[in-house]
Amino acid sequence: MKGNEAIAHAAIRCGTDGYFGYPITPQSEIIETLAALKPWETTGMVVLQAESEVASINMIYGGAGAGKRVLTSSSSPGVALMQEGISYMAGAELPGVFVNVQRGGPGLGTIQPSQSDYFQATRGGGNGDYNVIVLAPSSVQEMADFVDLAFELAFKYRNPAMILSDGVIGQMMEKVVLPPIKPRRTEEEIRKECPWASIGRTPDRKPNIITSLELKPEVMEQRNLHLQEKYRQIRENEVRFETQQCDDADYIIVSFGSAARIGEKAVELAREDGLKAGLFRPVTLWPFPSRQLAELCKGKKGVLVSEINAGQMVQDVRLAVNGALPVEHFGRLGGIVPDPEEIVAALKETLVK
Amino acid sequence: MANNIISPENLVYKKPALMNDTTMHYCPGCSHGVVHKLVAEVIEEMGMSDKAVGVCPVGCAVFAYRYLDIDWQEAPHGRAPAVATGIKRLWPDRLVFTYQGDGDLACIGTAETIHALNRGENIPIIFINNAIYGMTGGQMAPTTLIGQKTATCPYGRDPELHGYNLNITELASHLKGTCFVTRQSVDSVASINKAKRAIRKAFEASMQGKGSSLVEIVSTCNSGWKLTPVKANEWMRENMFPEYEKGDLKDTTGL
Amino acid sequence: MKKEIIISGFGGQGVLSMGKILAYSGLMEDKEITWMPAYGPEQRGGTANVTVIVSDERISSPILSKYDVAIVLNQPSLDKFEPKVKPGGILIYDGYGVFNPPTRKDISVYRVDAMDKAAEMKNAKVFNMIVLGGLLKVCPVVSTDGLKKALFKSLPERHHNLIPLNMQAVEEGMKIIEQQ
Which of A130, A149, A171 terminates a domain? The answer is A171
Longest CA–CA separation in chain B, Å: 67
Residue A159 within any structural domain of the chain: yes
Check which CATH number belongs to the domain holding A284 and give it: 3.40.50.920
Q: Does residue A105 fall inside a structural domain?
A: yes
Residue B238's Cα: distance from chain center in Å?
Answer: 21
pLDDT for res B5: 80
Q: Are residues A249 and A159 in the same domain?
A: no
Q: Which helix (H) or strand (E) holds A295?
A: helix A290-296
The string of DSSP letters for A171-208 reads H-EE---PPPP-PPPPHHHHHHH-TT--S---TTSPPP
What pLDDT sits at residue C13? 86
Same domain, A159 and A13: yes
The ipTM estimated for the assembled molecules is 0.95
CA dist B108 → B105, B112, B142 (Å): 7, 9, 9
Are residues A277 and A136 located together in one domain of the fold? no
State residue C41's pLDDT score. Answer: 55
Q: What is the mean pLDDT of residues A292-301?
A: 97
- Residue-wise DSSP of B130-163: -SEETTTTSEE-TTPPTT--BTTBTT---HHHH-
Please compute the mean of the pLDDT values over residues C113-135 and round it to a whole number: 94
pLDDT computed for residue A148 by the predictor: 98
Q: What is the pLDDT of residues B90-120, one digit of tens each?
A: 999 999 999 999 999 999 999 999 999 999 9
- Provide, for chain A, the percentages of residues in helix, strand and coil under a 3-state DSSP scheme, each rounded to the nearest 5: 45, 15, 40
Establish if A19 touches chain B: CB-CB under 8 angstroms.
Answer: no
- What is the C-alpha to C-alpha distance for residues A88 and A125, in angstroms, rounded to an integer? 11
Cα A18 to Cα A15: distance, rounded to the nearest angstrom? 9
Q: Are residues A11 and A131 in the same domain?
A: yes
> Which of A56, A98, A210 is the mutation pick for testing B, counting most B CBs within 10 A?
A210
What residue in A sits closest to C63 (Cα-Cα)?
A: A339
**pLDDT score of A159 more than 90:** yes
Residues of B in contact with A204 (CB under 8 A): none
Average pLDDT, chain C: 93
Separation between Cα atoms, residue A27 and residue A19, nearest integer Å: 14
User: What's the average model confidence in pLDDT over C113-137?
Assistant: 94
Number of domains in chain A: 2
Contact A265 C65 (CB under 8 A): no
- pLDDT value of position B2: 60
The answer to whether C35 contacts chain A (CB < 8 Å) is: yes
Q: Cα distance from A87 to chain B (closest Cα, Å)?
A: 10
- Angstrom distance (rounded) from CA B235 to CA B153: 18
Whole domain around residue A301: which residue ranges?
241-352
Taking only residues 90 to 109 of chain A, the set having a beta carbon closer than 8 angstroms to any beta carbon of chain B reads: 92
Nearest to B78 by CA among A88, A143, A288: A88
pLDDT at A353: 75
Cross-chain residue pair A261–C63, CB shorter than 8 Å: yes
pLDDT tens figures, A54-99: 999 999 999 999 999 999 999 999 999 999 999 999 999 999 999 9
**Confidence check: pLDDT of C153 > 90:** no
Q: Do B83 and A66 touch (CB under 8 A)?
A: no
Of A51, A84, A211, which is closest to B65 when you measure between CB atoms?
A211
Question: pLDDT grade, residue A20 (50/70/90)?
Answer: very high
What digits encode the pLDDT tens for the residues A222-272?
Answer: 999 999 999 999 999 999 999 999 999 999 999 999 999 999 999 999 999
Instruction: Report the range of poorest mean pLDDT among A139-153, A224-238, B3-17, C158-172.
Output: B3-17
* Beta bridge pairs of residue A210: B73
- From the CB of residue A182, how many other CB atoms can be counted at a distance below 10 Å? 14
Q: Quick one: what percent of chain C has pLDDT higher than 70?
A: 96
Q: B156 touching A, CB under 8 A?
A: no
| % residues pLDDT > 90 (chain A) | 99
Write out pLDDT tens, residues A189-220.
Answer: 999 999 999 999 999 999 999 999 999 999 99
pLDDT at B1 over 70: no
Domain boundary among A137, A152, A171: A171
Minimal C-alpha gap between B55 and chain A (Å): 9
Residues 69-98 of B with CB under 8 A from A: 69-76, 79, 82-87, 89-91, 94
pLDDT on residue A257: 98
At A318-348, the pLDDT tens digits run 999 999 999 999 999 999 999 999 999 999 9
Give residue C154's pLDDT band: very low, low, confident or very high (50, 70, 90). Answer: confident
- Is residue A71 in some structural domain? yes
- Put simply, whether B60 touches A (Cβ < 8 Å) is no
Q: Measured between beta carbons, which residues in chain A are less than 8 angstroms from residue B70?
A: 200-201, 207
**Residue B137: how many CB atoms within 10 A of its CB?**
12
SS3 string of C13-51? CCHHHHHHHHHHHHHHCCCEEEEEECCCHHHHCCEEEEE
Please name the chains neighbouring A, where neighbouring means 3+ C-beta pairs under 8 angstroms: B, C
Question: Final residue of a domain: which of A171, A203, A233?
Answer: A171
CB distance A340–C61 less than 8 Å?
yes
Contact B86 A63 (CB under 8 A): yes
Identity of the residue in B73, B76, B82 whose CB atom sits nearest the CB atom of A198 = B73
Domain parsing of chain B, residue ranges? 25-251
Residue in chain A nearest B64 by alpha carbon:
A209
Q: A262 and C61 in contact by Cβ < 8 A?
A: yes
List chain C domain ranges: 2-179
Average pLDDT, chain B: 96
Check if A191 contacts B (Cβ < 8 Å). Answer: no
Q: Which chain C positions have a beta carbon within 8 Å of A267's beta carbon?
A: 60
**Interval A289-307 mean pLDDT:** 97
| Residue B4 confidence (pLDDT) | 75
Q: What is the pLDDT of residues B52-103, one digit of tens each?
A: 999 999 999 999 999 999 999 999 999 999 999 999 999 999 999 999 999 9
The answer to whether chain A touches chain C by having 3 or more C-beta pairs less than 8 angstroms apart is: yes
pLDDT category of residue B6 using cuts at 50, 70 and 90: confident
**Contact predicate B146/B166, CB 8 Å:** no
Which segments of chain B does DSSP mark as H helices, in order? 32-45, 80-90, 102-103, 110-119, 159-162, 168-173, 189-207, 222-225, 229-235, 241-243
Of A25, A30, A64, nearest in space to A47 by CA: A30
Q: Quick check: pTM over 0.90?
A: yes
Any domain includes A272? yes
Task: State which CATH number among 3.40.920.10, 1.20.1250.20, 3.20.20.70, 3.40.50.720 fits the domain covering C2-179.
Answer: 3.40.920.10
- Provide the pLDDT for residue C45: 57
Mutate to test the interface with A, among C22, C30, C32, C39 (most CBs of A within 10 A): C39
Domain membership of residue A188 (yes or no) is no
CATH topology of domain B25-251: Rossmann fold (3.40.50)
Task: Supply the mean pLDDT for chain A.
Answer: 97
